[in-house]
Chain A
Amino acid sequence: MNVKDLLPIIQGSFLVWRRNATVFSRHFTVNIVPPFLEPLLYLGAIGFGIGMFVNDVLGMPFVVFIAPGIFAGSVMFASFYECAYGTYVRMYYQKTFDAILATPLTLREVIIGEILWGATRGLLSACVFYLVLVFLGLVPVLNGLICLPLAFLAGITFSAIAACFSAITPSIDALSYPSTLYVSPMFLFSGTFFPISVLPEAVQIGAFALLPLAHLVALARSLMTGLPDPIWALNLLWLIAAAIIATTVAIKLFERRLIV
């Protein structure tokens, strides 16, 4: 593929992204409240509540320790649910894909646009949560800012994985399987609420091999708390590689489902 062929793909993907952004902006006030509230609930209940009974973790207050974890988790939930349920609703119930495929755009552009939009939802959650953390004085302003592009990158990975599930699910109800069997354990075992190092070594390796959240938490915690992350380059590369692979697989799976 040469550069000339790449331009319509970029344009097309952007147009799909923009369609979703337009729809989102119509309900902006409704859409922006949950990403504000949810992390505050976690931070309040777990950080300050349970934190009362927990001593410092790795030399920092519990609430400071888990803030990057909840930050990363909010990115995961926003991106994953957008491209699992949101994408499926647009494909199956609203037939939005059919409508777009009757224009010059191709399915590949639709899927890339969907994934970029899912990542944008993750980024929006990250921005909102970042503001809350800065307001509470739990995170340094500049270092927290660097976490935002990382949130977008990880958002692509979460969205692309979700899109793979959306492409193969027989029904919307079946999407609760990846939610319960993959996303929920990922939220718990990615170093979100306790250091990943307390887990058995095999589980640690499994977490870093399979869970994108583990990589985002490690990077965000290092930036937000100053805790050294000796494998930050590996974390970053893993997220980039997973984003590319999962996006490619998602496109193939949707093509198998829809181009018949």
Chain B
Amino acid sequence: MTISHIIRAQTLEKRYGDLIAVNNVSFTVREGELFGFLGPNGAGKTTIMRMIQCVSPRTSGDLSVFSLDPDKDGRKIRAHIGVVPQETNLDPDLTVQDNILVYARFFGISHNEAVLRTEELLSFFDLTQKRDTPIESLSGGMKRRLLLARALINRPSLLILDEPTIGLDPQARHHIWERLIRLKHEGNTIVLTTHYLDEAARLCDRLVIMDQGQILIEGSPSTLVSQYFSSDIIETDNEPDVRRCLDIHKVSYEIAGETIQIHNPHTRDLTDNLLASCSGVRISRRPATLEDVFLLLTGRRIRE
């Protein structure tokens, strides 16, 4: 398929009764890029994924996937999509290999072709040894890799991942990241949702940060960080002595729980200054990250 825009959404909206889950959202995903949706729980990320997969009809606005309308051409669109869901939906009664083989039938892939592709995919995700293992004896990371392998059986033009590394240990996360980067280098278009900021910063070419159904900002991870933070961030303990010292030096600061954050263009001089004048203060300087942008935009309130 030679379309430069794989997904295009214009003033997309989804309502459930009075609740507006997705509110006037516009974005495009280009061919060959890894595009991320970030946001706290309830931001509307999964709802957008479901609309792209053509399993949830939109309330209003325009949405096209491969230049087709999900409301009319769901069958055609889904034939070229691979989906990794947030919750595992593998067949617990089947082995690793049979999970993929049975799934291949739904795409009309012949048995012989499916066996060949399954072999390739199991080896790509280091699951060849587990071929005949029942699902219940797989670890969380293996299940997630199998879901990825299954999602690739139809050689999709678009891969959709909803929280691909949620609940996995660091080793398993790195394993999946490495495979996703390889898939991207092979020219695959990938859309993922995540609320792991390090994951987004590491993987995404471009991303949007969402909150309460709306897109707050869009851009590449590095431009977003430099757009909001021109320099490093100084962090120190939230103690009365420290606050007094900062007030004396007329340094503006933000309180974030147990720590105080200072955003200031002259961080290097300021760090030296504070260390010299405020005795006994623990002080550190670090580069700003996507997480700082995220918290700045979406606040620190806990989301249920």
Q: Which residues of A contact B (CB under 8 A)?
A: 8, 11, 15, 18-19, 22-23, 26-27, 94-96, 98-106, 259-260
Contacts and interface: CB of A to CB of B under 8 A. Distances in A.
Contacts of B94: 22-23, 26
B288 to A, nearest CB: 37
Contacts of B42: none
Given A23-B91, A95-B87, A98-B85, A259 B55 contact: yes
Contacts of A11: 108
B56 A260 contact: yes
A103 B103 contact: yes
Interface string B100-142: 0011011110000000000000000000000000000000000
A22 B102 contact: yes
Interface size bracket, B side: 20 to 34
Contacts of B154: 103
Contact of B102 (A19, A27, A106, A260): A19
A27 B93 contact: yes
Contacts of B74: 106
Contacts of A15: 105-106
A96 B75 contact: no
A124 to B, nearest CB: 17
A99 B98 contact: no
B127 to A, nearest CB: 18
A104 B89 contact: no
A106 B75 contact: yes
A94 B106 contact: no
B102 A8 contact: no
Nearest to B153: A103
15 contacts: A15-B105, A15-B106, A18-B105, A19-B106, A22-B94, A22-B102, A23-B93, A98-B85, A100-B106, A103-B79, A104-B78, A104-B79, A104-B106, A104-B107, A260-B16
B287 interface: no
Contacts of A94: 89, 91-92
A100 B151 CA distance: 11
B57 A259 contact: yes
A94 B90 CA distance: 7
B105 A19 contact: yes
A245 B238 CA distance: 69
A259 B56 contact: yes
Nearest to B150: A99
A99 B75 CA distance: 14
Interface in B14-55: 16, 53, 55
A208 to B, nearest CB: 39
B96 interface: no
Given A22-B94, A106-B75, 14 more contacts: A11-B108, A18-B105, A22-B102, A23-B94, A94-B89, A94-B92, A96-B89, A101-B55, A102-B85, A103-B106, A104-B76, A104-B108, A105-B75, A259-B55
